Amino acid sequence: MSTSSTAAVRADEVAWRHLTVPAPSPVPVRLHEPGAGSGTSTGTGGWLVWAHGGSWQYGSAADWHPVTHRLAALTGWNVVSVDYRLAPAHRHPAALEDVLAVLDRVGERAGAEARIAVGGDSAGATLAASAALALRDRGQRLDAQLLAYPPLNPSCATPSYRRDPAAFPRPAALRRAWRTWRGTGPATVVAPDGTPLHSTPLDAEDLSGLAPAVLAVGADDPVADDVLAYAERLAAAAVPTRLIHTPDTAHADLLDPHSRLLPRLADALRDLP
């Protein structure tokens, strides 16, 4: 991939629009297109399907607009922000099915030469990691997964959760979020085509063959220990893995206009071989 194909553009040169992806439950998305705001061709770096955070219960593509708009500007990639269905009205695997439906649509539209990645932050990163597993199991192509501080273990019991009792997210609240999202159904649901749809990638016995992963988490984030352990599991399964682990960085960092992690995630996407 040439440097010019992933060059950053000015934020005012990123156009955006609402679209709806056809699916059994149609999925609203917000598409950010680099270069379109200047009247030139749209981003040629690739296509990034993004799932926002919000404990699987809150948030929207509109709420996360500054994050996804900036990602498009920094990377030169088209960014498709998914308005997936939220719990408790829609429990697992509804949100994951929505992300997969958008990835299917992007795969149809992008063309054989374009790169495709899935990413997300917080609960959205958990969805992105589970989507990467489903695409591997279905034999569908995926060039990267960008995972910003995903909650991975519903027990929320590692030492990083106890370092600062006031840090967000607090373990009791996050455990409630897991229960709200998963309900009383199975943690892994089998799709009609036989694909396991995991609520957390930790439930997958085999991680080999997954798309290259970029994981980002701050040292002050309660989910840090689980993210670091998952990075080790990916590397042990021979998955190309890049870990961004920054000091003095808390959960929800991407929502900060001065985010430490977002520019580094953008660099990692642009640096894909």
Tens digits of pLDDT across the chain (273 residues): 222 345 667 777 899 999 999 999 999 999 999 986 544 444 568 999 999 999 999 999 999 999 999 999 999 999 999 999 999 999 999 999 999 999 999 999 988 889 999 999 999 999 999 999 999 999 999 999 999 999 999 999 999 999 999 999 999 999 999 999 999 999 999 999 999 999 999 999 999 999 999 999 999 999 999 999 999 999 999 999 999 999 999 999 999 999 999 999 999 999 987
Fold for domain 4-270? Answer: Rossmann fold (3.40.50)
Distances (CA, A) of 176 to 43, 55, 88: 39, 9, 11
Phi, psi of 64 (to 5 degrees): -95, 10
Q: Which residues contact 246 (CB under 8 A, 6 or more apart)?
A: 216, 218, 219, 260, 261, 264
pLDDT at position 6 is 53
Tokens of 25: 């439950």
As annotated, the active-site residues are 122, 221, 251
Number of other CB atoms surrounding residue 221 within 10 Å: 30
Closest among 33, 30, 27, 29 to 46, alpha carbons compared: 33
The identity of residue 83, as a single letter, is: D
Q: What is the CA radius of gyration of the chain?
A: 17
- CB burial of 97-108 (b: ≥16 within 10 Å; e: otherwise) equals bbbbbbbbbbbe
